[in-house]
Amino acid sequence: MLKGNAILGQSGGPTSVINSSLAGIITAAKNFTGIKNVLGMRFGIEGFMAENIINLGAESQATIKGLKTTPSSSLGSCRYKLKDCDLPKVLDTLKKYDIRYVFLTGGNDTMDTICRLEKFAARNKYELIGIGVPKTVDNDLFGTDHTPGYPSAARFTALSVMQAGVLARDMRKVDQFVVYQSIGREAGWLPAASAIAKKHSSDAPHILCLPERAFNKEKFLAEVKKTYDNFGFVSIVCGEGIAYADKTPVSASQTKDKFSNIEFGAMGGTSAAMALHRMIADEFGFRGEFQITESLPMSAADRAVKLDIDEAFMAGSAAVRLAAAGKTGLMITLERQKGKEYKCFTGSVALTEVAVKAKPMPDKFISKNGFYVTNAFLDYIRPLVGDLPEYVKLEAKKFNLKSLKSF
């Protein structure tokens, strides 16, 4: 059995349940005899290279338990792209602290980091086990049915669009449309989640603009006009990364982060929601509003789904079990059991299959016209989000003066 210390890290944007995975890793690691001490990276791999390391094993049981329902990234995060020239420094630090187990929780860029680190250690004949724990509200990791964090962010989105839709319906004489922008660079899983709130054709959302489909301005405006004619107002949900057929972002942003990902809404561009707002206002003279939540779905613990909290903890625990079995170079996956009743268990996938790749929504989940989702998607997401509130609507029966009684 490989013996040494373990280091835990969190990277990229948080989710409302990322700390539940952290609690799962810590709890399982403290019970594994191969791990002597459970350490934590402050602010990800960037903090690790600065030897900003804490002793997670010294935290109280109450704190570890409380992590399950604490939002954001308790260890602190970063978006540092590990360079080849950094690898020797990282390896030296691993050796200095006798670290033999590395657990990183994050998205596809994080999986690339741990994949490269694990391979570099192997090339230099340093025994190291590296396991990735999935995390992203985007739900765009390959190899897993869904990612911890997505169900809660999906619920946040569904509730936000549902409630804003009720407002838009009742304020139609003031604002004829509303555009809600969701996180999602290359995949539309999160904006698509808003559809689960729809009960009737007039309910929000009416139009979905997903990154998986090239944006066509003429078709979009025609859909807006048709919807307005039918319902008197229009609710639109778009992914931040929607782009034209030539790959030009609708937001017009050209700013990129350290991983070469476009930063939508950065200086020099606008947001997709603002761009759509301008198109509609210019074409029809409508008054409307746009809503951009940015990081709010990542940290809304008050809307976290219990299933999501439990599955995130389960994923963290499974990572340690995998490491205890001597496995390395893998990411934990969530796998859905076939059948009508929702059941989930953990599996694993090679980091090389996940790193720096974004999983789009499959065609079977997107409607033929590209502006909505199918029943197959609704069946997929329904058990993840859970029950949503029911709102009443006035029958609005017209008052008849002839029926007025005199006193």
**Residue positions annotated with a catalytic role:** 138
Count of CB atoms situated within 10 Å of the CB of 56 = 23
Q: Locate 62 and state its tokens.
A: 């109450």
- Spatial distance between the Cα atoms of 325 and 323, rounded to a whole number of angstroms: 5
Query: Sign of the CA dihedral 115, 45, 82, 87?
Result: negative
Nearest to 150 by CA among 311, 329, 259: 311
Count of CB atoms situated within 10 Å of the CB of 248 = 12
- Spatial distance between the Cα atoms of 247 and 351, rounded to a whole number of angstroms: 28
Please classify residue 296 by burial: count the beta carbons closer than 10 Å to its beta carbon, then call 0-12 exposed, 13-18 middle and 19+ buried: middle
Would you call 97 helix, strand, or coil by DSSP? coil
- Spatial distance between the Cα atoms of 104 and 86, rounded to a whole number of angstroms: 17
pLDDT of amino acid 403: 67
Q: Residue type at 133?
A: V
pLDDT of amino acid 270: 74
User: Does residue 404 lie within any of the structural domains?
Assistant: no
- Spatial distance between the Cα atoms of 208 and 211, rounded to a whole number of angstroms: 10
User: Does residue 326 lie within any of the structural domains?
Assistant: yes
On whether both 277 and 168 belong to a single domain, the answer is yes
Q: Are 142 and 107 in contact (CB under 8 A)?
A: no
pLDDT of amino acid 399: 86
- Spatial distance between the Cα atoms of 19 and 395, rounded to a whole number of angstroms: 45
Contacts of 334 by beta carbon, 8 Å cutoff, 6+ apart: 134, 144, 145, 146, 147, 148, 311, 315, 344, 345, 346, 347
pLDDT of amino acid 267: 43
On whether both 349 and 374 belong to a single domain, the answer is no
On whether both 284 and 158 belong to a single domain, the answer is yes
Residue after which a domain boundary falls, among 353, 369, 394: 353
On whether both 126 and 255 belong to a single domain, the answer is no
On whether both 225 and 338 belong to a single domain, the answer is no
User: Does residue 124 lie within any of the structural domains?
Assistant: yes
Q: Are 13 and 135 in contact (CB under 8 A)?
A: no
Q: What are phi and psi of 286, to 5 degrees?
A: -75, 150
User: Does residue 321 lie within any of the structural domains?
Assistant: yes
User: Does residue 397 lie within any of the structural domains?
Assistant: no
* CA distances, 152 to each of 25, 81, 202, 300 (Å): 20, 27, 25, 8
Cα 373–chain centre separation: 18
Along the 407 residues of the chain, how does pLDDT read in single tens digits? 899 999 999 999 999 999 999 999 999 999 999 999 999 999 999 999 999 999 999 999 999 999 999 999 999 999 888 999 999 999 999 999 999 999 999 999 999 999 999 999 999 999 999 999 999 999 999 999 999 999 999 999 999 999 999 999 999 999 999 999 999 889 999 999 999 989 999 999 999 999 999 999 999 999 999 999 999 999 999 999 999 999 999 998 555 555 555 555 544 457 999 999 999 999 999 999 999 988 899 999 999 999 999 999 999 999 999 999 999 999 999 999 998 899 999 999 999 999 888 899 999 999 999 999 999 999 999 999 999 999 999 998 888 877 666 65
On whether both 21 and 66 belong to a single domain, the answer is yes
On whether both 197 and 253 belong to a single domain, the answer is yes
- Residue 193 lies in domain: 152-298+360-385
| The residue to which tokens 């990229």 are assigned | 12
Would you call 369 helix, strand, or coil by DSSP? coil
- Spatial distance between the Cα atoms of 110 and 104, rounded to a whole number of angstroms: 7
Q: Which helix (H) or strand (E) holds 385?
A: helix 375-385
The stretches of 50-107 forming alpha helices (DSSP H) are 61-66, 87-96
Q: What are phi and psi of 240, to 5 degrees?
A: -60, -25
Contacts of 174 by beta carbon, 8 Å cutoff, 6+ apart: 287
Domain holding 265: CATH number? 3.40.50.460
On whether both 294 and 164 belong to a single domain, the answer is yes
Domain count, the chain: 2
User: Does residue 398 lie within any of the structural domains?
Assistant: no
Q: Locate 108 and state its tokens.
A: 């596809």
pLDDT of amino acid 357: 85
Max Cα-Cα span within the chain: 98
User: Does residue 160 lie within any of the structural domains?
Assistant: yes
Domain holding 131: CATH number? 3.40.50.450
- Spatial distance between the Cα atoms of 165 and 235, rounded to a whole number of angstroms: 6
Cα 384–chain centre separation: 13
On whether both 291 and 307 belong to a single domain, the answer is no
Q: Are 161 and 194 in contact (CB under 8 A)?
A: yes
- Spatial distance between the Cα atoms of 240 and 63, rounded to a whole number of angstroms: 36
On whether both 109 and 223 belong to a single domain, the answer is no
User: Does residue 169 lie within any of the structural domains?
Assistant: yes
On whether both 169 and 306 belong to a single domain, the answer is no
Q: Locate 68 and state its tokens.
A: 């399950």
On whether both 161 and 290 belong to a single domain, the answer is yes
DSSP state of 256: B
